[in-house]
Amino acid sequence: MPPVPHRCHEEEPVLVHLVLDDEIQRYVQDVSLREDDIARELRAATTSQVFEHNMSASPEQGQLLSFLVGLMSARTVVEVGVFTGYSTLCMARALPPDGRLIALDFNEEWADIGRPFWERAGVADRIRLELRPAVQTLDMMLADGAAGTVDFAFIDADKEGYPLYFERCLELLRPGGLMVIDNVLLAGNVARPDFSDPETDSMRALNSTLLEDDRVELSMLPIFDGVTLAYKRARD
């Protein structure tokens, strides 16, 4: 029997995937979400105090981040983009008592919303908040010899800076470390060739670059606003 010829992407059928409407989303939350009062109250405080409250991670995403940090047995985490600290709280809880989460942001007012909740959860001593442009802090860490010492990195900040954050976080990650990159679909705009703005163009460029980057194992998940997992390969 002759071999089946390879079909190019343009000829492959589009698979039908489940669309998560409100009813299904509520069901997923009902049967899988384990959000406690502290995390729930932080989300409520964000909604009531910050106009841009939709920038916060969803509870399902926070739970996924906590799951991944624990699965990696991570001891050192870098978070690029804190906002009000919901994802910070979730990841810090998954760290051991002597673990460290280095949280990078520039807006102290937003971060201050999260601080009391970090305290209430008993994880404030695991969080080191660095308030300056994230690239500066990442460069300082590399200059201080932190390359190859980070177990887990989460990027959720200004999209135009993603290529810079990716390169620096990859250098900081140990071989076998995991990077999670948020908002890689940008509400689907990256898939619309007639749509262009600086954030979308930057994200498209990063997504295309990652596909060809042999330094990482790659999986893009079409959940939330698109999440890419990049696992740093060990070099021979």
> pLDDT tens, 102-114?
999 999 999 999 9
What is the pLDDT averaged over residues 10-37? 77
d(CA 186, CA 195): 11
What is the pLDDT averaged over residues 63-79? 97
pLDDT exceeding 90 applies to what percent of the chain? 79
pTM of the model: 0.89
Per-residue pLDDT band for 51 (boundaries 50, 70, 90) equals low
Residue 1 has pLDDT above 50, yes or no: no
Strand 173-182 vs strand 127-131: parallel, antiparallel, or unpaired?
Answer: unpaired
d(CA 228, CA 207): 9
Q: What is the pLDDT of residue 108?
A: 92
- Cβ(34)–Cβ(40) under 8 Å? no
Residue 7 CA, chain-centre distance (Å), reads 33
Q: What is the pLDDT of residue 22?
A: 83
d(CA 121, CA 93): 8
Q: What is the pLDDT of residue 147?
A: 98
Helices of type H across the chain: 22-32, 37-49, 59-71, 86-94, 108-120, 134-143, 162-172, 198-211
Q: What is the pLDDT of residue 26?
A: 87
First to last CA, the chain: 39
Higher pLDDT, 25 or 71: 71
Residue 154 has pLDDT above 60, yes or no: yes
Quote the tokens at residue 76.
Answer: 């050192």
Question: Scanning the structure block, which residue is given the tokens 């959940």?
Answer: 223
Residue 122 has pLDDT above 80, yes or no: yes
Per-residue pLDDT band for 6 (boundaries 50, 70, 90) equals very low
- Cβ(62)–Cβ(87) under 8 Å? yes
Q: What are phi and psi of 100, to 5 degrees?
A: -135, 130
d(CA 127, CA 91): 10
Average confidence score pLDDT of the chain? 90
Give Cβ neighbours of residue 88 (< 8 Å, ≥ 6 apart): 79, 82, 101, 103, 114, 118, 127
- Cβ(92)–Cβ(75) under 8 Å? no
Per-residue pLDDT band for 18 (boundaries 50, 70, 90) equals low
Residue 202 has pLDDT above 70, yes or no: yes
